[in-house]
Amino acid sequence: MKANDNDQNIINEIHRKFSELVTLHSELSPEAQQIIYDLHEAHFTLNHCIRWGEIAISEVIDELHL
């Protein structure tokens, strides 16, 4: 599959936003990170979703050779 220019731009923007989320989450204090972690089950934490979202969009970029 070849993504059109608009799709490529959107996919790249999604990737940038996930990267920003990873950075923002890592900048939270350890206490805030623990509070967020404690609110969810281990496989459904905010950190887990952000990291897997970043991995998923990176795989899309690789697959589409963007």
Structure tokens of 59?
């795989």
Are 48 and 42 within 8 A, CB to CB?
Answer: yes
Taking the domains of the chain in order of start, what are their residue ranges? 5-64
- Dump pLDDT digits (tens) for 6-62: 999 999 999 999 999 999 999 999 999 999 999 988 778 899 999 999 999 999 999
Q: State the pLDDT at residue 43.
A: 77
Q: State the pLDDT at residue 33.
A: 93
Between 1 and 61, the more confident residue is: 61
CA distances in angstroms from 11 to 5, 24, 25, 32, listed in the order given: 10, 20, 21, 30
pTM, 2 dp: 0.84
Q: Which residue has the tokens 């996919």?
A: 11
* Distance separating alpha carbons of residues 43 and 27, to the nearest angstrom: 21
